Amino acid sequence: MSAESLAAASRSAWGADVEALLERLDGERESLVARTESWSAINSGSFELPGLAAMRVTLLDTVSELPAPPEVVDLTPSKRVRPDGEVIDVHHGASIRVRVRPDAPIQVALTGHYDTVFPAAHAFQTPWREGEVLRGPGVADMKGGINVMFAALKAFEALPGDKRIGYEVLLSPDEEIGSMGSAPLLAELGARAHVGLTYEPAMADGALVDARKGSANFHLAVKGRAAHVGRAFNDGRSAVLAAAEAALALNKLNGKRDGVTFNVGAIDGGSAVNVVPERAVLRFNVRVPDAEAAVWAEAEVARIARDVGAHDGIEAHLHGGFTRPPKPLNDQQRTLVSWTRQAGAALGLDLKFQPSGGVCEGNNLAAAGCPNIDTLGPCGGGLHSDQEFALISSFAERAKLSFLLLAGLDRGLFDVRSLRS
């Protein structure tokens, strides 16, 4: 039997009405790509509040096609440590939330983000096509993914009969900077849902992610004592040197525990070269494979901060922590991976999965007890660079994959009771 025949046989379990809607999604390929292209032209960098507001207006128009009214949820500001050590508020705008059939027996969380890593001043602003490749800011990560999500939802809503599943869509403006404002919404959503679908891009070769490391961002604010280097050098206490000492101590932790990394990203501090620097801020990231490693890493970071702060004339204040808990490949995740592969097989796809050191909203959902597949967007690559791209052929393909997952959950082909009671 050919691969096409095998796929058709597998697909028959979903029903003839599903087949018709799969064909409809195939016909939406160009509209999906064109809308992603138009959205890419709207700059919505994580700190560009006017651009985020413009993107939000566009998205509100799109979500109005769903059978429930959208809600705009203002996010609580997060905190940032300035180079002088002062802690300030950072505003993020608002998330969009849509709840459809909240009383249904099966609840699905669908999440996405409409911010990108590109500020308005960045040169990478205009999308374009190169044959079967769409290039531009956010075409893969994840304006393209949001389009895939909505295409799948609209196809699902077109299925005849009463639905057994309800769902909640959450679109946020701060994922690229750690979801600091939307984290409480993600936690609430994850606690309510049986299963989660998140629309980060799949790999360029079509592979998806099954497990993720956890990620923490820390800021160590150091205060020393300023002094004139010519007249009173010995009276000074260098905050930059203290921060550098902490940086070296952190770097020595690499290799101490499998899968744990400490990356010193920046040291802000100092002014004139003839002044002992009074202020410095050390910024670093920690990645861990599991919860036990996270506890160890946090303890080591706290120890180093205490050691630096114990020096004469030095104060050290540690800020930050784990914003993305680890997402391990547990039994629930393995079951969900199996279902996704079954849906892929019905489309003639032999889906591969792999772990990732990167993080996303899927980490947050998993931490709230919600197993999820978090790379259901189009296939692409070059993320966080001016080489970002999405494969045009993958838009309809991945919309069909999500549609089959939703239909399978609704029709009992996938038993959510095996995931979460």
Q: Is the confidence at residue 11, as pLDDT, over 90?
A: no
For the chain, report the end-to-end CA distance as a whole number of angstroms. 39
Percent of the chain scoring above 90 in pLDDT = 94
Q: Are 3 and 348 in contact (CB under 8 A)?
A: yes
Residues 172, 53 share a domain: yes
The band of 16, judged by pLDDT with boundaries at 50, 70 and 90, is confident
Domain end marker among 305, 324, 343: 324
| Residue 358: Cβ within 10 Å count | 17
- What the block records as the tokens of 53 is 């507001």
Domain count within the chain = 2
pLDDT at position 224 over 70: yes
Q: Which of 141, 128, 122, 142 is closest to 38 using CA atoms? A: 128
Answer whether residue 9 shows pLDDT above 70.
no
Average pLDDT in the chain: 95
Spatial contact of 244 and 338, defined as CB atoms under 8 Å apart: no
* pLDDT at 183 (0 to 100): 97
- Indicate if 75 and 160 belong to the same structural domain: yes
Q: How far is CA 275 from the centre of its chain?
A: 42
Please determine, for residue 350, whether its predicted confidence score (pLDDT) is greater than 50. Answer: yes
**Residue 149 predicted with pLDDT over 80:** yes
* 303-308, long-range: CB < 8 A, 24+ apart: 304/246, 304/249, 304/250, 305/220, 305/246, 307/246, 307/249, 308/220, 308/222, 308/242, 308/243, 308/245, 308/246
Please, what's the b/e burial string for 231-255 (b: 16 or more CB within 10 A of its CB; e: otherwise)?
Answer: eeeeebbbbbbbbbbbbebbeebee
Same structural domain, 34 and 126? yes
Active-site annotation holder among 28, 115, 210, 290: 115
Q: Would residue 292 show up in a list of annotated catalytic residues for this protein?
A: no
Write the pLDDT tens digit of every residue in 302-335. 999 999 999 999 999 999 999 999 999 999 999 9
Residues 33 and 157 in one domain: yes
Q: Which of 37, 175, 374, 388 is catalytic?
A: 175
Q: Based on the number of CB atoms within 10 Å of its own CB, is 265 exposed (0-12), middle (13-18) or buried (19 or more)?
A: exposed
Domain endpoint, select from 324, 346, 377: 324
Query: Same domain, yes or no, for 261 and 309?
Result: yes
Q: Residue 135: which residues within 8 A CB-CB, separation 6 or more?
A: 127, 128, 129, 387, 388, 389
Which domain CATH number covers 377? 3.40.630.10
Q: 150-163: per-residue pLDDT in tens?
A: 999 999 999 999 99
Residues 243 and 264 in one domain: yes
Whether residues 148 and 230 share a domain: the answer is: no
Q: Minimal CA–CA distance to 285: which of 255, 258, 265, 305?
A: 265
| Residues β-bridged to residue 95 | 73
Q: Are residues 291 and 354 in the same domain?
A: no
Q: Cα(272)–Cα(291) distance, rounded to whole angstroms? A: 43
Q: Burial of 102 by CB count in 10 Å (0-12 exposed, 13-18 middle, 19+ buried)?
A: exposed
Given a contact cutoff of 8 angstroms between Cβ atoms, the answer to whether 89 and 321 are in contact is no
| In a shared domain, residues 20 and 9 | yes
Q: Is residue 177 domain-shared with residue 239, that is, in the same domain?
A: no
Residues 89 and 226 in one domain: no
My answer on whether 296 and 271 are in the same domain is: yes
The whole-model pTM stands at 0.93
Please say if 175 is a catalytic residue.
Answer: yes
The whole domain housing 367 covers 3-213+327-418
Considering 304, 324, 344, which residue would you say is the last residue of a domain?
A: 324
The CATH number of whichever domain residue 319 belongs to comes to 3.30.70.360
